[in-house]
Amino acid sequence: MAAVVEVRGVSKEYALGEQRVQALRETSLDVEEGEFLAIAGPSGSGKSTLLNLIGCIDSPSTGHILIDGEDVAGKTPDELADLRARKIGFVFQTFNLLPVLSAAENVEYPLLQFRFDKARRRARVQRYLELVGVGDYATHRPNQLSGGQRQRVAIARALIARPAIVLADEPTANLDHKTGTSILELMHAINREKGTTFIFSTHDPKVMEMADRVVQIEDGMLC
């Protein structure tokens, strides 16, 4: 299979006051199309930094990252935003839903930058809400939903533009054991049925157990 993500000798350094903090050191990683991958490590190990770099939310200090064959080095902020919109979906531990929008409107939001007519957008939104099991809650706002329902809406939003990659940053951290397991099983089923690549940052044993492959990271370096 082809690599949908290629990380080549990537380092990331941050300024912290007058000090420089090395968050990631000379990291290389290939992620194959359709993989269900866990990047595991303790807090502060660099796993979220690596996920943010793959997601084009941040840029490496050195090295190169290719997303579906596109080198992100040298791209403008607008070009990176376009790449994210076309290729990458995000699922966060805090859900990141807009509180004033309904579930359907939250899921629809990423589609507004594409040239879809309203009827086509609404039909796709309803289909994805049903796919993740919250089709009956389309008009509910986030504060009217349980944590598990909100995370399902967030998954539908991540998938709605049919990205090549979904990045999930500790997606079960704010959920109870039973709900977290059901969310993981849902993402795993989508991975198997749709062929969508999932990359997790996690220290949850359930995620690591379900993953096709676990990559350990510590002190900014892959072990």
Other Cβ atoms less than 10 A from the Cβ of 117: the count is 8
What pLDDT is recorded for position 17? 83
What pLDDT is recorded for position 19? 87
What pLDDT is recorded for position 113? 85
The series of mean pLDDT values per 10 residues for the chain, 223 residues long, is 91 88 93 96 91 93 93 90 92 93 96 88 95 96 96 96 94 90 94 95 92 95 90
Range list of β-strands (E), 98-178:
165-169
Domain of 216, CATH number, reads 3.40.50.300
What pLDDT is recorded for position 32? 96
Q: What is the DSSP string of 173-216?
A: TTS-HHHHHHHHHHHHHHHHHH--EEEEEE--HHHHHH-SEEEE
3-class DSSP assignment, residue 10: strand
Strands 3-16, 213-218: pairing is unpaired
Split into its structural domains, the chain has a count of 1
What pLDDT is recorded for position 1? 65
What pLDDT is recorded for position 21? 86
pTM here is: 0.93
Q: Which domain holds residue 168?
A: 3-222
Phi, psi of 163 (to 5 degrees): -75, 160
Tell me how far apart the terminal alpha carbons of the chain are, to the nearest angstrom: 24
